[in-house]
A and B are shown apart, each in its own frame.
Chain A
Amino acid sequence: MSEELIADLEKRFPRGPVIRGALRLPADRFQITVLFGPSGCGKTTVLRSLAGLERPEAGRIEFRGRAWFDASIRSFLSPQERDVGFLFQDYALFPHLTVAQNVAYGLRHHSLAARSELVADILDRFQLGELKQRYPHQVSGGQQQRVALARVLVRRPSLLLLDEPLSALDASLRDELRRQLRRWLADYGIPVIVVTHDRIEAMTLADQIVVMDAGQVRQSGSVSDIFSRPRDLNVAQIVGMETVVAGEVVAVTNGLATVDVAGVRLTAVAPAPEVQRVHVCIKAEDVLLLRKAQTEMSVRNQIPAVVQWLSQEGPLVRVGLNGGFELSALVTRPACAELQIREGETVIVAIKAPSLHLIPRHEAP
């Protein structure tokens, strides 16, 4: 029996778009798959179909060898029969129940003693013990998110589905939770599917990314596959980050990190202390090109690189470079002419330290 989640489905809305989703992921271990794409691209519909909250018109969903949905024989398991945990974007906490009652909601089949032990354990784990008598409207947004997560995880589902889990939080909290979320979920050893339109969130959480646009899956693969080798311009525009390379933090001094990327040393703003393996992300518009190295300049990173290719984009030119790793730059056409940038020439690539985005990296084992 295959320990996999295999989904291939088609959902039509009256007077709306057709959503086609295709997914395949291991179902026997912890792995985060991110459904990534702009708002309205159909990723939430795919997630809801996996949970049994939408019934697709065509296709099949199979989980660990068991058919959850099969249009050809009109079989459809209800959400109750699927044993999934679903975290709603607005958390959907029951307003008439306390934090503890919310968490205990799905444990009706446990004995009273088992139930209170499970609830106490998970409230502790999510630092909610103090709040257990409060009602959802009496706790903060971040606490609501933890209650919703605890309510789902306490049942030990076999698949966890998160719909924009961080979008309801303010920016500073989002940064913090992005890092914590993965750690919280790892212990449960179950596959997780996260829907998000936030690029940083996708990169931070994902082992595997599925890019969707206009109701279609455009590309799926590992984080570095998707971000550094987008299949086409459409995916490149969606992911919006031209250069993504694997790097390793080798030293941190005064809040600045020295990052090793394919033997090249770069200076960047240091990530969280425990982070060592990172994706180094650079937007093409943040890359400056110089004819020769400058000493009287604030830019920390200056690397010699060979021009690989040039491509015209209206008034701009996209320049593909290799300076030990591949990256691209976006410059104006007159600048390109003045600097006499041509294929095969060596130029100096200059990138300000704050323009290097370091995102924690977890490659799938």
Chain B
Amino acid sequence: MDFTAIWLTLKLASATTLILALIGLPLAYWLAMSSWRGKFLVESVVALPLVLPPTVLGFYVLMATGPNSAFGSLYERVTGSLLPFSFPGILLGSILYNLPFAVRPFMAAFAGMNRRLIEASWCLGESRWRTFWRVTMPLCWPGVLTGLVLTFAHTVGEFGVVLMVGGNIPGVTRTISISIYDDVQALNYASAGQTALGLVIFSLVVLCLAHVLGRRRLPL
């Protein structure tokens, strides 16, 4: 087994999950609560990675972050390095690709909440921010946790986007799924089989966990 790849994958999955919690929670809250008529556009963009081939998304991320692009050259000037074929590069691709896996469960949890509870808290003098932490989160955490677990698991198994944006650099961008691909290319079936089995078991455990967590709700 390729422990460098495992370590790198866990790092990528943790970072993706953390950042998606920071971006995804406010975005999902806004999508669930807003009555803005154009929000279906945002919802569709968020859901896009569900139907788009990872190679397509990867291709656009590559184009958008390359040294000839506006964003890519700005990034190069600020950090002195390039995004493609680097860890920050695959992190960016992975965040975009996992957006629906985080935002959609968050949104479902927020949308299923009784709005009166939030309004009651406002009328009791609590700010929107404090209401979120005192009422919304305690009642929505099963859904939020499900989103985080799914995001983590999905990042661990990611292949297309990482390959397009990051290529195959050991210790930098070669994740577990790419190391399996490498092993098969090199006819090293024993090693590929081990890693693949490990990934299957891991995914199964995570999905079971997500189900159990999703079911834990307060009696209302």
Contacts and interface: CB of A to CB of B under 8 A. Distances in A.
Interface stretch (A76-84, A227-235, A265-273): A76-84
Contact of B125 (A94, A95, A155): A155
Contacts of B127: 80
Contacts of B114: 90, 92
A358 B194 CA distance: 84
A96 B122 contact: no
Given A92-B114, A95-B220, A96-B138, A80 B119 contact: no
Give the most central of A80, A109, A137: most B CB within 10 Å: A80
A166 interface: no
Contacts of B130: 108
B124 interface: yes
Interface of B is mostly: helix
Nearest to B135: A94
Nearest to A79: B122
B182 interface: no
Interface of A is mostly: loop
B219 A137 contact: yes
B70 to A, nearest CB: 37
B117 interface: yes
B120 interface: yes
Contact of B218 (A83, A95, A105): A95
A85 B125 CA distance: 10
A246 to B, nearest CB: 37
B126 A108 contact: yes
Interface residues of A, number: 25
B121 interface: yes
A94 B118 CA distance: 9
B123 interface: yes
Interface string B97-116: 00000000000000000101
Contact of A78 (B122, B135, B218, B219): B122
A85 B123 contact: yes
Contacts of B126: 80, 105-106, 108
B116 A95 contact: no
Given A96-B218, A106-B126, A137-B219, A79 B117 contact: no
A151 B124 CA distance: 8
Nearest to A89: B116
B116 A84 contact: no
Given A79-B119, A92-B119, 17 more contacts: A53-B119, A79-B122, A80-B125, A80-B126, A80-B127, A86-B119, A86-B120, A88-B116, A92-B114, A95-B219, A96-B138, A96-B139, A106-B124, A108-B125, A108-B130, A151-B124, A155-B124
15 contacts: A53-B122, A78-B122, A80-B125, A83-B125, A86-B119, A88-B120, A92-B114, A92-B119, A94-B117, A105-B121, A106-B126, A108-B125, A108-B130, A137-B220, A155-B125
